Structure 1
């Protein structure tokens, strides 16, 4: 903990960090904390999720604000309610013995309950722009005396169309406050906000100049639109332990893909704007506990989800912008673990993928999908490994009597083969998979996959009405002129082979 002490943090905060298992500060913490403690400069920090940015602003706020101030001392804005909850809980875990009150303010929950808490006195408010504005209008939230104003994931809030709300909120604060702005990318609007509302400030950039995460392998597969689901199944089925988020463009796409996966006996659940907050939290708890290992989501719905050990992020629909790509893949390859970001594209989307690669400064590796035979062989090897693990670590003695009885009239090989057939027949059935059409050069100009400027098929127009409402707000004024993407067992999860008969 010596490195944290050198940053100028108190013993109270050091003890809180020690209890949470912190060992040494991350790069953004090392750079931001001393500046904020000194209090002379505001900060713009280019930092992604998973880099320790929450602690980098939470710790100085905890150190600098006072107990029993009887007014809100810090306002922290986040793009989603999930991130608001996450940040508020993180701050609560870091206050140590200091008596500070933190409240998360977001939509989908009782306004009156939040008003009651605000009137009792809150030191730090963490909230989404919409609900914060609402509470300000109700005069239940006064931020005129705040010492700190923080914009967390500022680019995402701008992408969601919250610029006007952010400006209105910041107008309600005082000019003497310290202001912190954290963003994975730096669109021009970020600098406009800084110019208008910040005092003298410094821009902090991490040593890794690329917007992506080095521990994440980034690959793509080129498939025809009608083969997208089959391609996804093969990707999942040749993964040792697939645990990831799959991104779709619209709510309808999310529901359709979730239904298809569940019909094939995958452990999957959906997250989008039509799901209630209570149901959403229930699904996320199941996902964090790995009782559900595949989460299908829209961009807006997935913001704020913080899970450190995801093995995969899959772009089932191509992201609408380079920023969206960065935020999607930033959810895997965290905490020193390796992750894989998979992007599925149709032939007509290759130029848009090249554009994302150029802006993000990375080259995705093109890979060939495994054949049906390769998928089946992988499953056979996984079965062998699973059986061996059960032999070593399982409680098989209770089955020895029935095993001896079976072996009276059968050879060991015949008995085991019959048992494997009974248990894994459907899993190893190659007929469960469909042949995937090989993409040829001629398909890249084929009319059947041509899109208009919004990414829709010429032959069949699709309605935008299924997009998340916040995403629609952003689509009215896109920062990048990208065509909008075409949205086109856990039988491999060998822990549950017997689920479907």
Structure 2
């Protein structure tokens, strides 16, 4: 797909040239199914919209691009309010809109608990166009009268079912009650439980429902492992992983076209048989590259998700997630290209500390068992290369393919000993390839921010104190009490924060233990500290009333 073709796919929506340029710089190559449905409906229609799609399907850009087009620059009032269940998602949405707005002068502010409210007050007083926030902090500003929504044009609820799970329904109704009647409301949700349908019926008008069906997620024949690496170590980790394998024949997935170009050029510089595929490559060249890959003339193909669509290769040994995919479905699409035709394959994912939580979410939704792997040691890589050379030389000698060099060899041996000649030839041919000093042993990064929050279906009413709960988890999982951080205990449940590898051990140890048909310990699915404070606030608020 050429650059012109890429722009045409988004140009069909009638987006401005400035927005199309921002889309190109983001590396977007083709609208996702939810974007195909929501963007034209929001741009041209006047109806409220329910968008039903899974996380990781491009929902943010689906509503962000039309908002950017429709809102006037530097308005004196808040024109759009976006509600998200967690501070992480609020920040993510805010960053996404900022990256898509291009040169358009729109002020976007994320509003969430844990951030200084004074900073938020100053920003709101100056005037902003779009507010992205969590229900608790938005309610706080509404009660303070520091957030005024009288001129609101758009209200967007993102991941509404998750907000329901976190107990935010009353908060959402409170907020919606402070918005004007004349506005457009968009509600995005992966599922549509009864309380969400009730809100839509009560607060939305002339509703258009746009649904993208989730696909069956299976990963049966693929061994799945992840490596802990820092962003700067990913390339070295990829090279070392290729070196240690007997016959690496795989797809390497990158997030953007620039990443594809960078990784491909560096692989070629290192002497690997590699090519890259992305949307700027013409169809003719794409077919040529893929033909070479299918015939195994190249062993490494680096690609974006869109560029790899339609590639049918039966016997890949590896699929490598150089960059984490957007969501579970994209993950399964990628790794489904190995483990075909009854053959087992290996899916490798590089994970930085900041991505542990996202990997946990992918595991949970795709029901994939992704095991932690250890990157090879330098001595093992060198030993593997030596063994490969021995095997290749043995084959050449047995097949007699060295005869043409007999005269040259005899000349060399006339002046030097056999040992000197062989050593000099190895040095000339392989330079420093067998020198351990030229390799760097990659260590797992220190995961300062790479923590996972776990939900524990036991609280104060269970008769356990904080020490007793930590002791119970320690005894059953083997995870030391010193590794269990930020314990938040409430009447019926608790939350703990641990590093990703400790979370794996805890979830495995408590697998099968349930309380009221719910797992005793599970991933918190984005439930954050603010959400729990909110639960306490509601009880207090009801008493006051």
TM-score normalised by L of structure 2: 0.47
1:9 CA drift (Å):
1.6
What do you get for the CA RMSD once the two structures are aligned? 5.6
Q: How does 1:10-21 map to 2 (within 5 A)?
A: 10-21=16-27
Deviations 1:402-451 (A, max 9, x none): xxxxx99xx99xxxxxx999999xx9xxxxxxxxxxxxxxxxxxxxxxxx
Q: How does 1:79-478 map to 2 (within 5 A)?
A: 79-206=85-212, 208-210=213-215, 212=217, 217=219, 241=227, 311=321, 329=328, 332-333=331-332, 384=385
Instruction: Answer whether contact 1:333 1:340 (CA < 8 A) is retained.
Output: no
1:74 CA drift (Å):
0.4
2:83 matches 1:47: no
Question: Which blocks of at least 5 consecutive residues in structure 1 are unaligned?
Answer: 222-234, 245-307, 314-326, 343-356, 389-406, 413-418, 428-455, 488-501
Q: Which has the larger radius of gyration?
A: 2
1:210 CA drift (Å):
3.2
Q: 2:88, 2:370 → 1: CA distance?
A: 34
1:468 CA drift (Å):
6.8
Q: 2:191, 2:490 → 1: CA distance?
A: 18
- Which of 9, 24, 38 lines up with 2:44 in the alignment? 38
Partner of 1:482: 518
Instruction: Answer whether contact 1:219 1:367 (CA < 8 A) is retained.
Output: no
Q: 1:382, 1:183 → 2: CA distance?
A: 52
1:34 CA drift (Å):
0.7
1:155 CA drift (Å):
1.7
Q: 1:150, 1:174 → 2: CA distance?
A: 14
Any idea what SS the aligned residue of 1:88 has?
A: helix
Instruction: Answer whether contact 1:243 1:310 (CA < 8 A) is retained.
Output: no
Partner of 2:352: none
1:39 CA drift (Å):
3.1
- Which of 9, 15, 30 lines up with 2:15 in the alignment? 9
1:15 CA drift (Å):
2.2
Query: Judging changes above 3 Å, is the alpha-carbon distance between structure 1 residues 41 and 14 closer, same or farther for their aligned structure 2 residues?
Result: same
Partner of 1:227: none
Q: 1:101, 1:369 → 2: CA distance?
A: 42
Q: 1:50, 1:7 → 2: CA distance?
A: 21
1:75 CA drift (Å):
0.4
Any idea what SS the aligned residue of 1:186 has?
A: coil
Instruction: Answer whether contact 1:242 1:311 (CA < 8 A) is retained.
Output: no
Instruction: Answer whether contact 1:43 1:204 (CA < 8 A) is retained.
Output: yes
Partner of 2:80: 74
Number of residues paired by the alignment? Answer: 329
Instruction: Answer whether contact 1:242 1:312 (CA < 8 A) is retained.
Output: no
Deviations 1:196-222 (A, max 9, x none): 21112122222x44374x7xx26899x
Query: Judging changes above 3 Å, is the alpha-carbon distance between structure 1 residues 369 and 88 closer, same or farther for their aligned structure 2 residues?
Result: closer
Query: Judging changes above 3 Å, is the alpha-carbon distance between structure 1 residues 474 and 44 closer, same or farther for their aligned structure 2 residues?
Result: farther
Q: 2:386, 2:150 → 1: CA distance?
A: 62
Any idea what SS the aligned residue of 1:82 has?
A: helix
Query: Judging changes above 3 Å, is the alpha-carbon distance between structure 1 residues 69 and 366 closer, same or farther for their aligned structure 2 residues?
Result: closer
Partner of 2:394: none
